[in-house]
Amino acid sequence: MRDKNWGVLLFVLSVLGMVGYFCWLFLTPRDWKILGISLWEWALIIPIMILVFAFLFVVAWIGKTMATTPPPLSVSEQNAEKKRKGTAVGLPSLF
């Protein structure tokens, strides 16, 4: 599928989502309830919960990445590594 087709599809789906969400939030009767909570309240609860979970997922992903990434080598360890490879200290390697 070409990029233009993907763009049109995303545009149409987002407009339909906006219209659907508007209808869900403002046009549903206030007396319709699911688990004792009205549908218009669910229209507020669900998006907020999704945003909070998405934010916390990103924070958890950053934390996992920070915890599992090895620390960088210190300058003395870098010099020792260059000497072991036969590269001159302070000069860039051509290979």
Helix (H) or strand (E) holding 33: strand 33-34
Query: Terminus-to-terminus CA distance in the chain, angstroms?
Result: 41
Structural tokens at position 79 = 């010099």
pLDDT of residue 54: 97
Buried b / exposed e along 30-61 (16+ C-beta atoms within 10 A): eeeeeeeeebbebbeeeeeeeeeeeeeeeeee
In sequence order, the β-bridge partners of residue 1 are: none
What pTM did the predictor assign? 0.59
Amino acid at 45: I
Helix (H) or strand (E) holding 76: helix 75-85
Task: Provide the mean pLDDT of the chain.
Answer: 84
Q: Which residues contact 38 (CB under 8 A, 6 or more apart)?
A: 28, 30, 31, 32
Question: Stretch 54-83: mean pLDDT, rounded?
Answer: 85
Quick: pLDDT tens for 62-74.
Answer: 999 989 988 876 7
Domain boundaries, the chain: 3-70
